[in-house]
Structure 1
Amino acid sequence: MKTQLIYNNILNIVTVITVTMFFSCNDSFKQVQKMGISENEPIGIDYNINLKYTDSGRVTANLISTKALDYSNRDFPFNEFLDGVTLYVYDKDNKKSTVVADYAIVYSNTDLIDMQNNVVITTYDNKVLKTEQLFYDKKKEWLYTNEPVSFKTETDIIHGNGFDSNSKFTNAEVLEVTGIITLED
């Protein structure tokens, strides 16, 4: 009888431990599954990127970068270009403009591009914009910043705090102009 009582107590203790472990392991397993694809880590990494965008068989842009991180697994997805980016944009007459930045983020949901650090845009007609941060709204085809800028046109170099323009630079405007240098022929 005493042996049966000890056996039942041991069986009850083992059952309680097993059930406790089962439920705690179940929660831990779910946590481990979540850790497999962490929101803080990129879902993919691309190296030596050379993307060409086409429209009706014609190359309209060429994006070059050494490294990009894909965070499309986030609630607000984006791609991050850590080592810089160079973008060549071709107009309908195949005239090339160049955009260079040391760092860029492309936000998928908003079609907003944030370029940072040594941002330089050189248009096919030799206009040059330099700034430390520039945003490009792909839907509106609009460039803007509130950072200090230097904008070189055919006749002037204009310094200011901010810039607004369409993507073709046909209505480019330096905001809060701090200085103008007129270029001689």
Structure 2
Amino acid sequence: MKTSRSHLFLSILIIMMGMLFSCENSKKDLETIKFDDSFPNEITRDVTIFYSDSAKVQVMLKAPLIERYYREEDSYAEFNKGVYVEFYDDSGKVESTIESEYAKHYNERGEMLARNDVVVVNKKGEKLNTEHLEWNQNTHQIRSNSFVKITTKDEIIYGNGLEANEDFTRYKVKDIKGIIEVDQNEMKKDEDVQ
């Protein structure tokens, strides 16, 4: 019995040593291993990121999920569960906000694509609704080639396509489909009834 245990232990030890010494990967072999590009390199949850310049916060971004993909050709971050972004002026006050159900940010290009229920609000309370929006951090411009609705205190503008500055204080609707004037007194009466 003692001999059989010794043989069993010795057999296991020989097998383990054989496995240990037979596993070898050269550096060249490791360099040829390809990783699946469809999986993110980094996943973060419940994130708040501040971007600053000269110790002044310029942008604040919040997202429940960020998936980062580091690629040679063009790295990007994907916001599959939505994103909320605030832009600040030099005094630290919010100039505008962007919110969407999905976004993709290309870091090297300085571009962000937002889609699915995109809402932009500026400091005057003017609101843009669209399904697709592109923001270029280098030119500080936002644009859309999709249907847009802009709600101001005096009117609602419908159109196809838009170009604007990133704080949404200046904008141009490309193909206006309609303008509805809003009577603030009527709006107030409707709010009082509800």
Q: TM-score, normalised by structure 1?
A: 0.77
Aligned partners of 2:122 and 2:169 also within 8 Å: no
Aligned partners of 1:83 and 1:103 also within 8 Å: yes
Aligned partners of 1:99 and 1:122 also within 8 Å: yes
Which residue of structure 2 lines up, in the alignment, with residue 59 of structure 1?
A: 57
Tell me how far 1:64 sits from its aligned partner: 0.5
Q: Structure 2 unaligned runs (5+)?
A: 1-24, 185-194
Which residue of structure 1 lines up, in the alignment, with residue 3 of structure 2?
A: none
SS at match of 1:110: coil
Q: Sequence identity of aligned pairs in percent?
A: 27
Is 1:33 paired with 2:30?
no
Which residue of structure 2 lines up, in the alignment, with residue 148 of structure 1?
A: 147
Q: Distance in 2 between matches of 1:149 and 1:117?
A: 12
Aligned partners of 1:86 and 1:99 also within 8 Å: yes
Q: How many residues align?
A: 157
Q: Distance in 1 between matches of 2:49 and 2:181?
A: 39
SS at match of 1:75: coil
What letter corresponds to residue 63 of structure 1 in structure 2?
Answer: L
Q: Distance in 2 between matches of 1:173 and 1:107?
A: 25
Q: Distance in 2 between matches of 1:170 and 1:53?
A: 21
2:44 to 40, 43, 46: 46
Tell me how far 1:109 sits from its aligned partner: 2.4
**In structure 2, do the counterparts of structure 1 residues 125 and 93 end up closer, same or farther at CA, with 3 Å as the change threshold?**
farther
Q: CA RMSD in A?
A: 2.0
SS at match of 2:70: coil
Tell me how far 1:74 sits from its aligned partner: 4.5
Q: Distance in 2 between matches of 1:142 and 1:130?
A: 16
Q: Structure 1 unaligned runs (5+)?
A: 1-24
Q: TM-score, normalised by structure 2?
A: 0.74
